[in-house]
Amino acid sequence: MESVLNECIMYCETCALKCVNENVSCVDCCLLCESICRSLKTAMLLKSKKSIVNCLKKACINSLKDCIEHCSHHNNPHCKKCRLCCSKLLNKLEN
């Protein structure tokens, strides 16, 4: 799970940086997703209370869905990679 979270964090951050001049709503969405994924990873590494991890998982799932939706409207390589990576993590979190 940690490797998929790391990958998603990296691609969301990259996508946000590359979208700065293209699409502000994508930047906001990707940065929020990156931040929530990072918080979930930290909570898991610290073996936080299950209730906290579960809340962060729910927030992460919602954020991933939003990021996938935003990036699906753009046909550039960084949005495609971000969308695929978010979909991969979403699949892991929902199963």
pLDDT computed for residue 24 by the predictor: 76
Report the C-alpha gap between 74 and 6 in whole angstroms. Answer: 23
- pLDDT tens by residue, 18-71: 988 877 788 999 999 999 999 999 999 999 999 999 999 999 999 999 999 999
HEC states along 31-67?
HHHHHHHHHHHHHHHCCCCHHHHHHHHHHHHHHHHHH
pTM: 0.94
Mean pLDDT of 78-92: 97
